């Protein structure tokens, strides 16, 4: 019976038992498979259980580091949580490569976040504008209980304005607010402010017959599109220093620039190209306890800001110098949320020497740029499968249950050969 009511009320053991009975009736190891990922430290386990609802076990991701990232002259060892092989190796390789060429230059362009109260208004626009002017300062004052702490630290609500969206959708207006949330990602802060604006609007509308009964507040929510929370990272090198794998520096640089041009002109390539960038950025975002779904949504929207989905990175050659850069919107936090709760997030932030949110924006964007450099460099030279399958070899061997002796023997065998799944299985059988 797969339908169940009151599942959330069951104890964790009962939830696991229900899953075992329902989906693993013939598997005697099912219960212990859930249990073996539980942490022996009960306090730690409870902490993880309470992050979300209906927790039945933990889901591990490898936590790795990529050293030698030089950003604005400072060296970082960057923590990355990611399951895909090759990513950390590629990031580390690119970091080391650019370390010897002066590293990366990063600059935070802006740090503004935003949110909207979306509303429909069926009366006269002039009446709404007049009403908004009247209640503007009251909306801000009523939100003081939410904003005062943030204001003490120098942040808060930056602007609140009425936006006419009726040309896009009949009767649609927004209360559009922008925020400075300092080192916090600020999602709860922003949403609380927006809900308060909506509440003040409702209360004040009761006193205004030209508004009351003529509007509908649809929703109040932050936007994950944050083009005013922008970071730029660049790197450059004399073309002659870029010689690699049988290509002269000039050939490599020109091929690289063409690869970016393809990503700018073709959505199918742009999507994969940007996915490679997010491989690195997401891994750091996850390790530092930030919301990678929010960042993904915002970054991809930004990649399509011209009306066409394009590359997040740019490259060009000028006066025999190769220039490579990325510009991305990143709403990140280094205080609040998981950053105070998850022990490994604290560890990750400590490894980064407790960065501010702005510094973390620079680090994350740099890893994105480095990741893209590594991917495109492989693609235009040897292809990615050689390196990728080498890294994937260990995954295949683990799936096959290879012993340490077999792993050593088989890794040695594939040192100078192409790794394919079937070939690994064949050699594995021989070493049994």
Catalytic residues: 84, 275, 291, 388
Q: Is-contact 92 75, C-beta < 8 A?
A: no
- Residue 387 sits in the site that holds ligand MEV (CB under 6 A): no
- Residue 384 sits in the site that holds ligand MEV (CB under 6 A): yes
- Residue 275 sits in the site that holds ligand MEV (CB under 6 A): yes
Min separation Cβ 392 and ligand MEV, Å: 11
Within 13 Å, how many C-alpha atoms sit on residue 108's CB side?
17
Residue of this chain nearest to ligand MEV (CB atom): 276
Min separation Cβ 280 and ligand MEV, Å: 10
Burial class (CB in 10 A: 0-12, 13-18, 19+), 377: buried
Distance CA 171, CA 167 (A): 9
Binding mask 25-64 for ligand MEV (x = CB under 6 A): ----------------------------------------
Stretch that binds ligand MEV, among 200-208, 329-337, 349-357, 371-379 (CB under 6 A): 371-379
Min separation Cβ 245 and ligand MEV, Å: 16
- Residue 279 sits in the site that holds ligand MEV (CB under 6 A): yes
Q: Is-contact 410 427, C-beta < 8 A?
A: yes
Longest C-alpha distance within the chain, in Å?
85
DSSP, res 312: S
What is the number of other CB atoms lying within 10 angstroms of the CB of residue 156? 21
- Residue 390 sits in the site that holds ligand MEV (CB under 6 A): no
Considering Cα of 212, then 214, then 219, then 223, what sign does the dihedral take?
A: negative
Phi-psi sector, 205: left (phi>0), alpha (psi -120 to 50), beta: alpha
DSSP, res 111: -
Collapsed DSSP state (helix, strand, coil) of residue 119: strand
Distance CA 420, CA 286 (A): 31
Min separation Cβ 376 and ligand MEV, Å: 6
Restricting to residues 164-193, name those near ligand MEV by CB under 6 A. Answer: none
Compare residues 211 and 369 and give the one whose CB is closer to ligand MEV.
Answer: 369
Among 81, 361, 375, 397, binds ligand MEV (CB under 6 A): 375
Binding mask 71-110 for ligand MEV (x = CB under 6 A): -------------x--------------------------
Distance CA 170, CA 229 (A): 30
First to last CA, the chain: 43
Compare residues 177 and 326 and give the one whose CB is closer to ligand MEV.
Answer: 326
Total binding residues toward ligand MEV, as defined by CB under 6 A: 10
Q: Is-contact 99 74, C-beta < 8 A?
A: no
Min separation Cβ 372 and ligand MEV, Å: 7
Min separation Cβ 338 and ligand MEV, Å: 25
Among 79, 155, 276, 355, binds ligand MEV (CB under 6 A): 276
Compare residues 12 and 255 and give the one whose CB is closer to ligand MEV.
Answer: 255
Stretch that binds ligand MEV, among 198-206, 208-216, 271-279, 351-359 (CB under 6 A): 271-279
Stretch that binds ligand MEV, among 129-137, 274-282, 292-300, 305-313 (CB under 6 A): 274-282
DSSP, res 143: T
- Residue 146 sits in the site that holds ligand MEV (CB under 6 A): no
- Residue 124 sits in the site that holds ligand MEV (CB under 6 A): no
The two three-digit tokens of residue 52, written as one number: 């979300």
Collapsed DSSP state (helix, strand, coil) of residue 21: helix
Distance CA 287, CA 339 (A): 10
Collapsed DSSP state (helix, strand, coil) of residue 174: strand
Among 75, 141, 272, 418, binds ligand MEV (CB under 6 A): 272
Min separation Cβ 297 and ligand MEV, Å: 19
Distance CA 384, CA 100 (A): 23
Contacting residues toward ligand MEV, per CB under 6 A: 84, 272-273, 275-276, 279, 375-376, 379, 384
């Amino acid at each position: 019976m797969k339908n169940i009511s009151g599942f959330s009320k069951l104890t964790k053991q009962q939830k696991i038992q229900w899953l075992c009975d329902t989906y693993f009736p013939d598997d005697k190891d099912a219960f212990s498979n859930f249990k073996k990922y539980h942490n022996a430290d009960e306090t730690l386990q409870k902490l993880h259980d309470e992050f979300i609802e209906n927790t039945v076990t933990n889901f591990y991701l490898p936590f790795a580091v990529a050293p030698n990232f030089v950003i604005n002259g400072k060296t970082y060892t960057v923590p990355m949580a990611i399951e895909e092989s090759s990513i950390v190796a590629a990031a580390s390789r690119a970091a080391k490569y650019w370390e010897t060429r002066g590293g990366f230059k990063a600059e935070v362009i802006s740090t503004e976040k935003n949110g909207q109260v979306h509303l429909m208004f069926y009366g006269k626009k002039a009446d709404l504008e007049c009403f908004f002017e009247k209640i503007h300062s009251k909306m801000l004052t009523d939100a003081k209980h939410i904003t005062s702490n943030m204001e003490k630290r120098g942040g808060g609500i930056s602007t609140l304005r009425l936006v006419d969206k009726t040309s896009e959708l009949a009767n649609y207006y927004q209360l559009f607010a922008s925020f400075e949330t300092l080192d916090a990602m600020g999602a709860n802060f922003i949403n609380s402010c927006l809900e308060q604006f909506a509440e003040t609007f409702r209360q004040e509308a009761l006193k205004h017959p030209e508004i009351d009964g003529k509007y509908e507040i649809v929703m109040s929510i932050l936007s994950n599109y944050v083009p005013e929370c922008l970071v730029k990272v660049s790197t450059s090198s004399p073309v002659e220093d870029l010689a690699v794998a049988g290509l002269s520096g000039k050939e490599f640089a020109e091929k690289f620039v063409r690869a970016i041009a393809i990503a700018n002109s073709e959505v199918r390539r742009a999507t994969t190209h940007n996915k490679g960038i997010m491989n690195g950025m997401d891994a750091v975002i996850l390790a530092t306890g930030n919301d990678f779904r929010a960042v993904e949504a915002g970054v991809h929207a930004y990649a399509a800001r011209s009306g066409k989905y394009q590359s997040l990175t740019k490259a060009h050659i000028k006066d025999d110098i190769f220039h490579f850069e990325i510009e991305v919107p990143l709403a990140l936090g280094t205080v609040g949320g998981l950053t105070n709760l998850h022990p490994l997030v604290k560890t990750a932030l400590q490894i980064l020497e407790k960065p501010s949110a702005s510094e973390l924006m620079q680090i994350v964007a740099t890893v994105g740029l480095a990741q893209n450099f590594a991917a495109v460099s492989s693609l235009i030279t040897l292809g990615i499968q050689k390196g990728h399958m080498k890294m994937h070899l260990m995954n295949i061997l683990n799936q096959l249950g290879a012993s340490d002796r077999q792993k050593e023997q088989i890794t040695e065998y594939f040192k100078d050969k192409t790794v394919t799944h079937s070939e690994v299985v064949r050699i594995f059988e021989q070493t049994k």
